[in-house]
Amino acid sequence: MTIDDLTRLDSTRIFVNGAWVAPSGGEALPVEDPSTGRIIGRIGRGGLADVDAAVEAAAAALEGEWGRLTATERGRILMRMSALVTARAEDLAMIETLDVGKPLNQSRRDSVALARYLEFYAGAADKLTGTTIPYQEGFTAYTLREPHGVCGIIIPWNYPMQILGRAVAAALAAGNAVVLKPAEDASLSSLVFASIAAEAGLPAGALNVVTGLGAEVGAALAGHRGVQHLSFTGSVATGMRIQEAAARNVVPVTLELGGKSPHIVFDDADLDLAMPVLVGACMQNAGQTCSAASRVLVQRGVYEEVRRRMAEIYRGLVVGPACDSHDLGPIVSRRQRQSVQGFIDLGRRELTLAAEGTLHPEAPPEGHYVLPTLFSEVPPDHALAREEIFGPVQVLMAFEDEAEALRLANGTDYGLVAGVWTRDGARQLRMARKLHSGQVFINNYGAGGGVELPFGGVGRSGHGREKGFEALYGFTRVKTVTVHHG
Ligand code: NAI
Ligand code: MG
């Protein structure tokens, strides 16, 4: 079966105003399977004219059929999209596995999450309300929650379905129109999503998908005068560019920029429960996860035991082709693989290697594989303890007491997610308050994704909140109306 059979699309086309059109420049970009290094398809290389057309179509949709729908009707369309995603969940998972190199059992979870985001925001659409405000005698004051208008959504390649789900479903539920720019390394699932939206009856122009390069389509969308809100997930460097572009047009922006998330283990932790989570919270998607728990901070009394048990798990981890659902698949691209391998090589020169995993003998040599690698006794100022690696690499550090745990945990520029393992209830509450982080998980990590749980960063991890009901506030603006009736 080819990738075109799976997508049932001509993936060199882009989706603008409800129609599949060739990008204005007529060029295409290759689609690579990172498990084999083979080119398995092509996507369109959109340009300025395509972004203009998509923004214009989105603006027209707000003035037309889409803008006239009630919140309940918008919710019903999203619910139909959810059902269609569920019906095509297996195709979508396979597409993602071939395009991104994500083990199939993990891609399946992404299809389920996409359907769930659509379902959650479908139900939320008609529950988003303004307030009435007690005010002076003779006045009635209230607020209206209105959509921003045209939302530019730029997503990365690591969880395309989950990230487009959380952003696009919330934006549409709130009544915005969307121009979506997927990552050049992983655009196919966004195109299939557009076809599902059309099949579900989403009016033309409410969702447009323009594929292409970040420096071309991404930059054009971020700087476009017709866009009223930007939402971006990706690197800090690109996030800064997006915020600069947003500043020039004075539009709000939501940034989710990854992190260097700490996983903290106290002496009194239930280690049997914690051990698989300590490793899994970073190895998922081969460490290419914004919320990866890449730093493991362990109290001195259990440090040796945690190091030994983590090393044992690492030695059992197998890396191999994504279709075979090994523990880890490849890294998404040659460039990203080089970057991750560079960190591993640096660690091997300067740090203590605690353990590594193994490469499956049948992994094709042209695939972008790296071995999961654990370093111990890592000094907190080392590059591997401070920089986002975005690969299957964890650093272990010991701490003496709660104060030192907090100092280490809060000691990077990031703050997206933190995990804490302790049976001490008072300490759980203290840590939750004092960690500089958008999310804190106690005696778990990630809680299985949590469509319902607001998510976002502090510091260089970004700002604004996605997921949960909270995201709907970010995709709307408040208008205050005051009526003097005497
Ligand atoms: P990136 O931030 O450059 O790419 C993310 C998205 O932004 C893609 O759709 C890309 O086409 C677009 N983009 C790139 N340049 C742009 C520009 N000038 N204007 C507008 N859009 C632009 O990330 P990249 O290069 O793929 O990965 C590099 C590093 O970024 C990773 O090693 C990782 O540390 C971090 N990253 C973080 C993610 C997260 O979930 N927070 C996701 C992906 C990458
Ligand atoms: Mg690819």
**Does residue 320 register a pLDDT over 80?**
yes
Whole-number Å distance, alpha carbon 31 to ligand 2 midpoint, is: 5
Please, what is the average pLDDT of the chain?
Answer: 98
Catalytic site residue from 256, 356, 388, 466: 256
**Does residue 302 register a pLDDT over 80?**
yes
Which residues neighbour 297 within 8 Å (Cβ) at sequence distance 6 or greater?
262, 263, 264, 265, 397, 398, 399, 405, 408, 409
pLDDT (tens digit per residue) in 229-251: 999 999 999 999 999 999 999 99
Q: Distance between CA 33 and CA 39 in Å, rounded? A: 6
pLDDT (tens digit per residue) in 422-447: 999 999 999 999 999 999 999 999 87
Q: Going from the N-terminus, what domains does the chain have, and what CATH number goes with each?
A: 3-257+463-480 (3.40.605.10), 262-450 (3.40.309.10)
Ligand 1 first shell, C-beta below 6 A: 154-156, 158, 181, 183-184, 214-215, 218-219, 222, 233-235, 238, 241-242, 256-258, 290, 336, 339, 388, 390
Atom 20 (ligand 1) nearest CA: 218
SS3 284: helix
Question: Which helix or strand (DSSP H or E) is residue 237 part of?
Answer: helix 236-249
**Does residue 117 register a pLDDT over 80?**
yes
Q: For a pocket test of ligand 1, which of 187, 235, 282 has the largest count of ligand atoms closer than 8 A to its C-beta?
A: 235
Q: Give the mean model confidence (pLDDT) for residues 385-408.
A: 98
Question: Atom of ligand 1 at shortest distance to CA of 245?
Answer: 19
Ligand closest in space to the Cα of 335: 1
Whole-number Å distance, alpha carbon 237 to ligand 1 midpoint, is: 8
Ligand closest in space to the Cα of 42: 2
Whole-number pLDDT of residue 447: 75
pTM: 0.98
pLDDT (tens digit per residue) in 170-200: 999 999 999 999 999 999 999 999 999 999 9
- Predicted confidence band at 167 (pLDDT cuts at 50, 70, 90)? very high
Whole-number Å distance, alpha carbon 238 to ligand 1 midpoint, is: 6
Atom 44 (ligand 1) nearest CA: 234
Rounded alpha-carbon distances, angstroms, from residue 319 to 6, 312, 327, 360, 448? 25, 16, 6, 6, 22
Q: Give the mean model confidence (pLDDT) for residues 283-298.
A: 98
Q: Distance between CA 52 and CA 54 in Å, rounded? A: 6
**Does residue 1 register a pLDDT over 80?**
no
Is 305 known to be catalytic?
A: no
Residue 358's Cα: distance from chain center in Å? 28
Atom 13 (ligand 1) nearest CA: 214
pLDDT (tens digit per residue) in 36-95: 999 999 999 999 999 999 999 999 999 999 999 999 999 999 999 999 999 999 999 999
Whole-number Å distance, alpha carbon 186 to ligand 2 midpoint, is: 5
pLDDT (tens digit per residue) in 341-375: 999 999 999 999 999 999 999 999 999 999 999 99
Give the position of tokens 């999209």: 81
